Chains A and B, each alone.
Chain A
Amino acid sequence: MTDQAQPSRPGVLSVVQRVVEFFRRRARATGGGGTKAIEKQIASGKLTARDRIRLILDAGTFHEYDLFVEHKAVDFNMAGKDLAADGVVTGTVGGHPVCIFAQDFTVAGGSLGLAHARKITKIMDHALKLCIPLIGINDSGGARIQEGVNSLAGYGEIFYRNTLASGVIPQISVILGPCAGGAVYSPALTDFVFVVEKISRMFITGPEVIKTVLGEEISMEDLGGARVHTEITGNAHFYAATELECFQQIKKLFTFIPWNNRKKADAFPPRPPKPAYDLDKVIPPDSRQPFDVRDVIRGVCDDSDLIEVHENWAANIVCGFARIQGQTVGVVANQPLVLAGVLDVDSSDKAARFIRFCDAFNIPLLTFVDLPGYLPGVDQEHAGVIRHGAKLLYAYSEASVPKITVILRKAYGGGYIAMCSRHLGADFVFAWPSAEIAVMGPEGAANIIFRKEITEAADPNEMRKQKVAEYTEMFANPYRAAAEGHIDAVITPSETREYVIHAMEISISKVDARPTKKHGVPPF
């Protein structure tokens, strides 16, 4: 037997020495940008890349890849410069399996050079091949300028893979630091973007450039902070006050979505809605008065548990995930509480994107309808409400997952058609007795249809009232549409959950044959 502690030849390391050397190298690589840079990261209210990964994933499940990747840049004194793990951490996790990468701001400001990008594209390829979701944590100063066009190449290779993976595996971006210039387009191509107050910053051109070129002064927070992207631009889907809250949101979202487009989301034990949400009492007597449509959703879904997407953007439509008898559904609902629930540029855009995600990942769609129509205005017309509104029609018509629609109150005109009507291929359309399925509201319709009678009457106001009442009586109900078979059943509010469960159960083997095509050309 040979003595393993003694090298057999001079200059050859023993096994123990090799292990010690490995530990030394690993400690240096996982040490990120060093104590000073890490202290600075923490002082700015941010966690380190590896801590973020550990906090998102189940304890002890992270396996790091490519720890020893080194950059090859030589220009601008970059040769020989040691960048621990090249500023990005990649790896996988068991449990609900995911691939994950986190940019390490403590190493060269998390700047993206070719080796850094290739670590990301390698883990992206891995996720796509293994058919498991990808989480990307962005915290980077941008392109590594010293590497020139190679860092641009890196971004392009990431965007290409984001696009290939779109609709195959869920992709999630977490913005935990700056994410500026070209870097913003990777998150923009992914399914869900998470931002955190005072930490996330996203913009194409920063405040300094804007000041130089345009003379406009604005702070980073006002230009591209977390609130801006969750309330104004719609670039971010989830907002959190702290990183820890953000990680909880990510974990919760993962319980609702499948690993890939060939699987269904995990089923959970069925749970009834909470008794506090009494559907028979939600709707006010006058259809012009508002209510919170989320109370209807909570009165129908398991445990009254709804996770909203884009909660603070285009709040006139509610999109989110919930469960019915333990199965995930994607819920889309007009919100009468905000702008009377009208469709407009942003709400159409928001719902269309959400519907396409659900359809790509085998999540049935449950739509609740209560809207007076489209938002009028020069700003809406000039902002392209035609083009954006068409996205919603396209998304609903294109979706081949089970589509269940419940008309709660107003379903007027184009809005009725757009909100997953029978005509766009809804599999089940139910209406509450309070439903008003008509070409427009009674006041507007009476003023057009009976214009002559009203203007020529001795008392036009009295005549108008009378005609509005006539129209309401004849058309502001679900029975005209029911008589045509445009809706399948008129149901009471308290029967809704039972009917939705029924619809989901019998559509489990739904087949929806479509014409063969390479892909459609949606209006985006």
Chain B
Amino acid sequence: MLEDLKKFHLDDTEYETRLSRMFERRKPWIAPNPRIMAALIPGVVTTLSVHAGQKVRRGDPILILEAMKMKNPVVALREGTIHSVRVSPGQMVTKGEAMVEFE
């Protein structure tokens, strides 16, 4: 009689129920990678100050991300060596996109 029923587990119990679209679309959680510097907002990389192999200290400029009508300086949050740079000047990045990887 009732259609579209699926299995749903809670507290070791299996229920029959419909799943909401929001529930089915939910994204699995991925642990953040501390070596990756990702864009916090979407924008365009205008200036790039580092290259692969370069040593940086905490607070050193990495690049400028132009977004929301602002030139946002992106700086190193820790000391380390740049493993790879995944963006080039003029490139548009989306939110969460990896820009620079540390070793």
Residues of A with Cβ closer than 8 Å to B?
213-216, 231-232, 288-292, 314-316, 336-342, 346, 372-373, 375-379, 382, 412, 440-444, 447
Contacts and interface: CB of A to CB of B under 8 A. Distances in A.
Interface stretch (B23-31, B49-57, B79-87): B23-31
B23 A372 contact: no
Contact of A373 (B10, B18, B22, B94): B10
Contacts of A376: 10
A340 B17 contact: yes
- Mostly, the A contact residues are loop
Interface string B10-47: 11111111111111001111000000000000100000
A62 B26 CA distance: 48
B12 A444 contact: yes
B8 to A, nearest CB: 5
A231 B12 contact: no
7 contacts: A213-B68, A232-B22, A289-B15, A289-B16, A292-B2, A340-B15, A443-B13
Contact of B67 (A213, A346, A382): A213
A441 B67 contact: no
B92 interface: yes
Contacts of B8: 339-340
Nearest to B14: A288
A441 B17 contact: no
B18 A372 contact: no
Contact of B42 (A214, A290, A443): A214
A80 B23 CA distance: 55
Interface string B63-75: 0000111000000
A372 B22 CA distance: 19
Contacts of B67: 213
B42 A213 contact: yes
A455 to B, nearest CB: 14
A373 B11 CA distance: 9
Contact of B20 (A215, A339, A382): A339
A235 to B, nearest CB: 14
Contacts of A288: 13-16
Contacts of A440: 11
A379 B20 CA distance: 14
B45 to A, nearest CB: 13
Contacts of A289: 15-16
B77 to A, nearest CB: 21
B10 A337 contact: no
B26 A338 contact: no
Contacts of A442: 13
Nearest to A347: B20
A377 B26 contact: yes
Contacts of A443: 11-13
Contacts of B22: 232, 346
Contacts of A315: 20
B13 A372 contact: yes
